Chains A and B, each alone.
Chain A
Amino acid sequence: MKFRGKIVDVACLNHVTRVISTISKLTKTCVLRLTADNLFFVLSGKVANGGVSMWCELSQANVFDEYQMEGVSSEDNEICLEVTPENLSRALKTVQNAKAVKVKLTKKHCPCLTIAAELPTLSSISRVVTHDVPVDVIPRRLWHEFKEPSMPDFDVSVYLPPLKTMKNVVDRMKNLSNFLVIEANLSGEMNLKIETDLVSVTTHFKDLGNPLWGDDASQDGGPSPSRDPEAMAQARVDIRKLQQFLMGQQVNPSKAMCNIVHERVVHLILLHEDVSLQYFIPAVA
């Protein structure tokens, strides 16, 4: 198993730092999968994280100028590591000024992702900074837990309203209730609702538009063509999970969508440049 990467472009460095920083706000630990072409950050839905799962994908070519990856074997040419994104994020933030940043899989007292950079100083001598970020190697027999999630058999797919507006509303709703209902229909309408003994609050978003998934989707069983466009598909979720997702978003995505499987799961998809982030929040009774 071998991994070495070199980042020389400051825009690429900012890019990957931002992505990892967003991931760090969504989860404390996750799995990093390194393949020949991509980096994947994966969180598989377990009871411990409230059943929330996440899949983030970016192409290595848009980050690394040099990339050498030799996986576990030639048939399984990838590396799977359990990482703490906050540690990676912190390390990367300290080397934003560097001319070049090298990332390497090493073995110190334990397996590490070593981030090394030469930082400019006032004198002509550069300062070398090295961070050894501990990671855990995930054995091949567990890799099946971190596969790309398949598109759920959703009832409604809708574009999300501006994330900032959603975040403001959800932040206030969290003061009033622990649970929130998200509902949407094929007429581009979405409602966020809370209801308690003291108060009920509903926020109505309109004219959001519904993404067309095309033939692939209908094969997977997307919304049936005979579905009443006004009919709402809904899911009741833990409001903190939605709030956590919204808090993490630093950049306005070029596309933001929400798929709802009625009373089962809310599937959020954000696309920005070459990065795609999917987040699954299970419905609660």
Chain B
Amino acid sequence: MPLSTQSQADDEQYVLVASMDNARNLSNILKAITFKDQAIFSATPNGLKVTVEDSKCLQANAFIQAEIFQEFTIKEDLVGFQVNLTVLLDCLSIFGGSTVPGVSTALRMCYKGYGYPLTLFLEEGGVVTVCKINTQEPEEPIDFEFCSNNVTNKVILLSESLKEAFSELDMTSEVLQITMSPSQPYFRLSTFGNSGNAHYDYPKDSEMMELFKCTKTQTNRYKMSLLKPSTKALALSCKVSVRTDIRGFLSLQYLVRNDDGQICFVEYYCCPDEEVEEE
């Protein structure tokens, strides 16, 4: 059943059909949010949003716009389902994870609607694999109520600079403390681990700092274990925006370029660690 000869009639029954010449453009970005097995898929005419949550305190979203796909056909305003993300990733890389230049796996993802499995048609070198992954009713993703109006502090940094800091972070520290301020130290990451306290400062006029808009001095702590998965997104990205709102909620937005140079976004929302008092 080669992808190209799938009949028109088959397509009629699907509420969602999304095709990609290179399945890695989907699997790479999904790897950036795979810290739990279950993922909520929400498809709209704008594209695909994949959500993974952890203990109601952390949410990661990957956005793949319709334009990234070679074909993106949706028959409803919103198509939602839940699947096992680890199984999906194993299916997307069924022909092996190696990156031989010029060889890629073509993907056609199809969904008939509630109660039906997510069907993937994958093709590489003339060999076709068909996967049917069972779906579940999607849980409602948490609304962190993070809106631009309530943002107190925002910086945009080149990922390069944060990658170094995150790779050196003292993981024995239970929390990562983020200080943002219109005055010194401007943007500071702190850890309190077995080796002592460590601070990483980013001055507002640093060449790594693309944007600096801080209105109020804020210090917030976030559980290290919750933020750790975000390093995968950081590794893929070229730029990251860090925002906090009046409640101390954190939004990290990553700009990711795929194999073909197209842009996708990954965002992480995280609640502040309860035990700390706001300054």
Interface residues of A (CB under 8 A from B): 161, 165, 168-169, 171-173, 175-176, 197-206
Contact = CB atoms under 8 A, between A and B. Distances in A.
Contacts of B134: 197-199
Contacts of A175: 90
Contact of B96 (A172, A176, A197, A198): A172
Interface of B: 1, 84, 87, 90-91, 93-96, 98, 117, 125-134
The 3 closest A-B pairs by CB, nearest first: A168-B96, A203-B129, A201-B131
A169 B91 contact: no
A198 B117 CA distance: 9
A176 B87 CA distance: 7
Contact of B94 (A172, A197, A206): A172
Interface SS of A by simple majority: mixed
Contacts of A171: 96
Contacts of A172: 90-91, 93-96
A199 B126 contact: no
Contacts of A199: 84, 87, 91, 117, 131-134
A169 B94 contact: yes
24 contacts: A161-B127, A165-B95, A165-B127, A168-B94, A168-B95, A168-B96, A168-B98, A169-B94, A169-B96, A169-B129, A172-B90, A172-B91, A172-B93, A172-B96, A173-B94, A176-B87, A176-B90, A201-B94, A201-B131, A202-B130, A204-B127, A204-B129, A204-B130, A206-B126
Nearest to B37: A198
A227 to B, nearest CB: 23
Contacts of B1: 204
Nearest to B93: A172
A204 B133 CA distance: 17
Nearest to B84: A198
Given A168-B95, A172-B94, 12 more contacts: A161-B127, A165-B127, A169-B95, A172-B95, A172-B96, A199-B91, A199-B131, A201-B91, A201-B129, A202-B129, A204-B1, A204-B128
Nearest to B131: A201
A172 B129 CA distance: 12
A202 B94 CA distance: 10
